[in-house]
């Protein structure tokens, strides 16, 4: 997290065994959590909330800086390297059935390289 801010992003790689969509996220670590996308247009970076991210069967989907990511807003306390943040991902299958998947995302320094994934 950037000092004196209560907002940060969560990044990971998700691989679904079957075609599905990531349709929501929650965490006790923040007052609000959502799925966002960062885009560049005309030299201007924009970030917006999105309703869902497609998860093609067997293909990894990266949630990373500069693209799709989980946005955490109104974080309760500054997150420190070495801590973990529990995230509950809401995944919707082709049949419309929703499943909650809980993962622990390790907190890393802003300059740390991205690595690790969830399946």
- Average the pLDDT over 96-117 and give the result: 78
The whole-angstrom separation of Cα 110 and Cα 1 is 7
- Is the pLDDT at 52 greater than 90? The verdict is yes
| Residue 112 placed within a domain | no
The whole-angstrom separation of Cα 40 and Cα 43 is 6
Strand partners, 101: 89
Max alpha carbon distance in the chain (Å)? 43
Structural domains counted in the chain: 1
Number of residues that make up the chain: 119
Q: Is 76 left (phi over 0), alpha (psi -120 to 50) or beta?
A: alpha
| Residue 111 placed within a domain | no
- Domain span at residue 98 reads 7-106
- The model's pLDDT over 69-87, given as tens digits with 9 standing for 90+, comes to 999 999 988 888 889 999 9
| Residue 91 placed within a domain | yes
* CATH number of domain containing 89: 2.60.40.1890
| Residue 76 placed within a domain | yes
| Residue 44 placed within a domain | yes
Quickly state the pLDDT bin for 110 (edges 50, 70, 90): low
- CA distance to 3, 11, 38, 50, 58, per residue, from 104 (Å): 22, 11, 23, 22, 21
| Residue 113 placed within a domain | no
| Residue 118 placed within a domain | no
| Residue 115 placed within a domain | no
- The model's pLDDT over 20-41, given as tens digits with 9 standing for 90+, comes to 999 999 999 999 999 999 888 8
């Amino acid at each position: 997290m950037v000092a004196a801010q209560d907002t940060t992003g969560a990044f990971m790689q998700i691989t679904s065994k079957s075609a599905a969509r990531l349709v929501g996220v929650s965490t006790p670590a923040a007052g609000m959590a959502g799925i966002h996308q960062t885009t560049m247009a005309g030299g201007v970076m924009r970030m917006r909330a999105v309703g869902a991210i497609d998860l093609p069967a067997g293909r990894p989907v990266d949630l990373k800086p500069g693209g799709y990511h989980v946005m955490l807003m109104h974080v309760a306390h500054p997150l420190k390297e070495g801590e973990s943040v529990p995230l509950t991902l809401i995944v919707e299958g082709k049949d419309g059935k929703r499943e909650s998947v809980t993962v622990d995302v390790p907190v890393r320094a802003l300059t740390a390289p991205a690595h690790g994934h969830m399946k």
